[in-house]
Amino acid sequence: MILKMSWRNIWRSPLRSLVVMGAITIGTWAIIFLMSFSFGMVKSYVNNAIRMETSHIQIHTPAFKEDREVGNLLPEAESKLATIKSSAEVEAATVRTILNAMLVAPKGTRGVIARGIDENEEIKVTEIDQQIVEGSYFGKGKNQVLMGKSLAEKLGLKIRKKVVLQFQNLDGEITAGAFRIVGLIDSGNKMRDDGSVFVRRGDLNRLIGSEKAGHEIAIFLKDAEQIQAKTAALKTDYSNDLIESYTEISPDIKLYETQIGTSFAVFVGIFMLALIFGIINTMLMAVLERTRELGMLMSVGMNKGRVFGMIVLETLMLGLVAAITGMILGWITIQYFSGSGIDLSSFSAGLKQFGMSTIIYPALDGAYYLQLTISIIITTLLASLYPAYKAIKLRPVEAVRKI
């Protein structure tokens, strides 16, 4: 009966209740959508970073991490690669030779990172072939280079043009090679496109003087959930090498991932603060309007605990109905955009600068719906305490006579 009374009491002032419920619904929807959008952006950034830059796990020598010297080679890189590739958790793995180089073009020079890659293995790890917007992936012939489209434009270069890459060889002497541009890349990350070029590892190794040289093994796992376990296992297997997961390689990714949780807490906190005052105001009005009725209820034998409970229940129902409506609307919005994504092409320049895709796919983990629900329940309960306290403080003898 108290449940029934509480529910019906909400609808005694439908307009007032609907205004509060509308505010909670819109607020909940906004938080869910905003957070799913933020998660989508972070996911896009993290996925891009993993696919384009870090992969899931990388192996180097500790010295290479300190100083990208040509001589800091990973010992027995190819035999390690073969062992790693045979592991069940590994989707793909590849060895890279990485050099600090000077790119010399007719219209200028640029400091770049020259990445020597195994053309067939690399595309299983980084999908670099799918980022080519002009020209093609490596074909027949030696000394071919893929470079960022933006870098090529800055240096006035086109497909088929030649550039010279200058770097130090293993003997510590400066060496150089002429490379023909076969493909231009647009990875979506302008900083990366401007700072790296890709050549065949064999071509680079020949120039530095070691066919088997490699500085880095990049590993892509079948299941991202296995990253921590696999990293730990590799650390045991190759204790002399530096084994790092993507969050260790790029702390900014970890920061993004943790920051989003903090952002969620801040958004929810601000929303709950606004919510608490809105609910207190509404419920206080509801209590003061019903002074005589509450006095009558206590006169006929409804004890203070039950009166308190009725007001709390009323507030809780008001908040929860609105919050659940907001969540359903938020979920529907996410479902709608999760297929086609939200096209932010008009901001593509800025997004690419930060390594994000121009289409964002909103997504929100189920745990956040639960967190939001718990937050709303707690807030609503807190907001109900003062009006409920006011209700039980009424003296029946005075309240029943109140006009």
Q: Is 15 in the site for other proteins (CB under 8 A)?
A: no
3-state SS, one letter per residue, for the chain: CHHHHHHHHHCCCHHHHHHHHHHHHHHHHHHHHHHHHHHHHHHHHHHHHHHHHHCCEEEECHHHHHCCCCCCCCCCHHHHHHHHHCCCCEEEEEEEEEEEEEEEECCEEEEEEEEEECHHHHHHHCCHHHHEEEECCCCCCCCEEEEEHHHHHHCCCCCCCEEEEEEECCCCCEEEEEEEEEEEECCCCHHHHHHEEEEEHHHHHHHHCCCCCCCEEEEEECCHHHHHHHHHHHHHHCCCCEEEEHHHHCHHHHHHHHHHHHHHHHHHHHHHHHHHHHHHHHHHHHHHHCHHHHHHHHHCCCCHHHHHHHHHHHHHHHHHHHHHHHHHHHHHHHHHHHHHCEECHHHHHHHHHCCCCCEECCCCCHHHHHHHHHHHHHHHHHHHHHHHHHHHHCCHHHHCCCC
Mark the segment that binds other proteins (CB under 8 A) among 1-9, 158-166, 198-206, 375-383: 1-9
Number of residues that bind other proteins (CB under 8 A): 21
| Placement of tokens 């790092």 in the chain | 244
Among residues 3, 8, 262, 289, the one that binds other proteins under rule CB under 8 A = 8
For residues 308 and 390, give the distance between their C-alpha atoms in angstroms, rounded to a whole number: 9
Of 34 and 296, which has the nearer Cβ to other proteins?
296
> Smallest distance, Å, CB 401 to other proteins?
8
* Strand duo 196-200 + 108-117: pairing: parallel
Q: Which is nearer to other proteins, 218 or 316 (CB)?
A: 316
For other proteins, give the closer residue by CB, 8 or 212: 8
Nearer to other proteins, 8 or 158 (CB): 8
Q: Which stretch binds other proteins (CB under 8 A): 15-23, 48-56, 143-151, 392-400?
A: 392-400
* Interaction pattern, residues 279-318, with other proteins; x per rule: CB under 8 A: -------------xx--xxxxxxxxx-x------------
Q: Does 151 bind other proteins (CB under 8 A)?
A: no
Q: Is 16 in the site for other proteins (CB under 8 A)?
A: no
Residue number with CB closer to other proteins (70 or 297): 297
Residue number, 8 or 65, with CB nearest to other proteins = 8
Residue 107 or 395 with smaller CB distance to other proteins: 395
To other proteins, the closest distance from the beta carbon of 292 in angstroms equals: 6
Using rule CB under 8 A, residue 158 touches other proteins: no
Over the window 39 to 78, marking each residue x when it contacts other proteins by CB under 8 A and - when it does not, the resulting string is ----------------------------------------
The least distance separating other proteins from the CB of residue 12, rounded to whole angstroms, comes to: 6
| Residue 9 C-beta: closest distance to other proteins, Å | 6
Query: Is the Cβ of residue 142 or residue 401 nearer to other proteins in the bound state?
Result: 401
Measured from the CB atom, is 228 or 299 closer to other proteins?
Answer: 299
**Contacts with other proteins, residue ranges (CB under 8 A):** 1, 4-5, 8-9, 12, 292-293, 296-304, 306, 396-397, 400
